[in-house]
Amino acid sequence: MSASLYGSTAVQFVRGLHTLSALLEKGAAWAQENGTSEETLLNSRLAEDMYPLVRQVQIVSDVSKGAVARLAGVTPPAMEDTETSFVDLQARIAKTIRFIESVKADQLDGDDSRPISVKGRNHELNFTAHSYIMSFAVPNFYFHITTAYNILRHLGVTLGKSDFIGEIK
């Protein structure tokens, strides 16, 4: 028996967003304790061709709300990508969680083979609902949380595996 789409998306995404929020809290505290500006942390990246921390958080939000919206057949809340502080990013995460939690399991679950289309700048990707979640949405979600974690860790924020895993219930 396969996992429900709701359990594979909404439940995981809310948990991951709470973890990301906690990582950012530690990053903000570290910046203050070490006299480092928020701007420095938010604009830090692991490599020149990678997005900075602020964009990693925006993408985590976009991937999670977009996936839930596509599966539910609803429009996700628009977010302008104008965050310039940890407070702004925390507000975005909270808004994303509220949206995801507003979608009910029966809106997501159902036909795992229904078509899902994702339009990029120069291309369109076509999936089944199941393959979209398993091969695109969930891997992207965790890639960007992991990258945010790694940026903070690389800068010197004291983080460990338990910070990434989050609360175990």
Q: What is the pLDDT of residues 48-107, one digit of tens each?
A: 999 999 999 999 999 999 999 999 999 999 999 999 999 999 999 999 999 999 999 888
Domain residue ranges in the chain:
5-162
Whether pLDDT at 153 is above 90: yes
Structure confidence at residue 7 (pLDDT): 84
**What is the DSSP annotation of the chain?**
-PPPHHIIIIIHHHHHHHHHHHHHHHHHHHHHHTT--HHHHHT--SSTTS--HHHHHHHHHHHHHHHHHHHHT-PPPP------SHHHHHHHHHHHHHHHHHS-HHHH-S-TTSEEEEE-SS-EEEEEHHHHIIIIIHHHHHHHHHHHHHHHHHHT----HHHHH----
Spatial contact of 126 and 29, defined as CB atoms under 8 Å apart = no
**pLDDT tens across 34-52, in order?**
999 999 999 999 999 999 9
- Average pLDDT score over the chain: 93
Give me the CATH topology for the region 5-162: Four Helix Bundle (Hemerythrin (Met), subunit A) (1.20.120)
State the Cα–Cα distance between residues 111 and 7, nearest whole angstrom. Answer: 15
Structure confidence at residue 1 (pLDDT): 38
Structure confidence at residue 112 (pLDDT): 86
pLDDT band at residue 2, thresholds of 50, 70 and 90? Answer: low
